[in-house]
């Protein structure tokens, strides 16, 4: 049996670095798989984590399986927090799993961290499609696969989804304004992930967490309360009209990033990707930040 060591791939990323820090906070033995030549702020962040006991090993998830397996020796759980295209999310994670199999790893946590990927269909969301394909390739492995799902990141909801315009004072949404949505901060996602990774009662399957469950209308109210400002509440169209807009943009653009934010919104405002239940109660020591508190701390200053 491998010792109780965790390897994190993607430990220099925003989520991966916080997962690593949370694991160290909980007293875990942690190793990070990092590409050669890391410098600048990422190097400084790794140095700080090394001072707390983090072990580093150079490599990439696309490396030869035998080479990767060497980096995974003595590891019980592999956590993947990588980001990228299909060569990383699908092919790379399958490669990492094969190496984990050779190294005798017990459990693998893929880089899912999203709305419910298991409820969406192919072509609903091109980024979720990559994760669904990865899940299919990971299925049947002797290594247990545990997905950690967090809904939408609060950071993304206020900055990259085109919903809140702090300069213009507008709040624009599609679909049913009263459809509940699962939102979680990156910090709380990292905390829940670390807790799940070190939970010996969990093997494979999926766990689902949310910092707060709110509708678009409640999200709008929280933004106004947090900022002390009024935001015009604009309805852009129905969920069906949103789907039509996505299809229109897909025909006009070769770059799916031009419409992926709308694909995420569609999955949320239709309720198709809504979690059926939450596992927050497994870890009562984690008290997640609510949307209003998060916006108050992170909204751009006027």
Tell me what the mean pLDDT of segment 11-24 comes to. Answer: 96
pLDDT in tens, 191-221: 999 999 999 999 899 999 999 999 999 999 9
Upper half-sphere CA count for residue 48 (Cβ side, 13 Å): 12
Specify the CATH number for the domain of residue 64: 3.40.50.720
DSSP bridge partners of 237: 174
Nearest-Å Rg of the Cα atoms of the chain is: 20
pLDDT in tens, 126-168: 999 999 999 999 999 999 999 999 999 999 999 999 999 999 9
Tell me what the mean pLDDT of segment 37-57 comes to. Answer: 89
Domain annotation covers residue 58: yes
Give the angle subtended at the CA of 134 by the CAs of 133 and 135, to the nearest 5°. 90
What is the total count of domains within the chain? 1
Q: Given a cut of 70, is residue 1 above it in pLDDT?
A: no
N residues, the chain: 302
Residue 285 CA to residue 96 CA, distance in Å, equals 32
Question: Which residues neighbour 187 within 8 Å (Cβ) at sequence distance 6 or greater?
Answer: 18, 289
pLDDT in tens, 59-75: 999 999 999 999 999 99
Domain of 89 in residue numbering reads as 5-151+186-209+274-282
Domain annotation covers residue 33: yes
Domain annotation covers residue 241: no
List of long-range contacts for 48-52, beta carbons under 8 Å, 24+ apart: 49/11, 49/17, 49/20, 49/21, 49/24, 52/21, 52/24
Residue 139 CA to residue 299 CA, distance in Å, equals 40
- Whole-model pTM? 0.96
């Amino acid at each position: 049996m491998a010792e109780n060591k965790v390897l994190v791939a993607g430990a220099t990323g925003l989520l991966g670095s916080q997962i690593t820090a949370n694991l160290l906070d909980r007293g875990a033995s942690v190793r990070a798989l990092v590409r050669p030549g890391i410098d600048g702020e990422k190097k400084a962040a790794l140095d700080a984590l090394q001072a707390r006991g983090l072990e580093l090993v150079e490599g990439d998830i696309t490396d030869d399986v035998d080479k990767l397996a060497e980096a995974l020796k003595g590891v019980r759980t592999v956590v993947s927090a990588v980001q990228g295209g299909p060569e990383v999310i699908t092919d790379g994670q399958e490669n990492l799993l094969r190496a984990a199999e050779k190294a005798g790893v017990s459990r693998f946590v893929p880089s899912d961290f999203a709305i419910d990927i298991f409820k969406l269909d192919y072509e609903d969301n091109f980024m979720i499609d990559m994760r669904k394909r990865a899940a299919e390739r990971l299925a049947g492995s002797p290594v247990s696969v545990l997905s950690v799902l967090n809904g939408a990141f609060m950071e993304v909801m206020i900055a990259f989804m085109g919903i809140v315009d702090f300069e213009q004072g507008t709040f624009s949404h599609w679909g049913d304004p009263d459809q509940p949505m699962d939102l979680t901060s990156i910090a709380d996602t990292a905390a829940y992930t670390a807790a799940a990774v070190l939970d010996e009662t969990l093997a494979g399957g999926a766990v689902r967490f949310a910092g707060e469950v709110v509708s678009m209308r409640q999200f709008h109210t929280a933004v106004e309360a947090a900022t002390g400002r009024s935001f015009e509440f604009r309805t852009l169209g129905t969920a069906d009209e949103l789907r039509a807009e996505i299809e229109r943009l897909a025909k006009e653009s070769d770059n799916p990033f031009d419409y992926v934010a709308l694909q995420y919104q569609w999955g949320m405002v239709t309720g198709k990707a809504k979690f059926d239940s939450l596992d927050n109660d497994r870890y009562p020591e984690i008290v997640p930040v609510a949307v209003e508190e998060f916006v108050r701390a992170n909204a751009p200053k006027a």
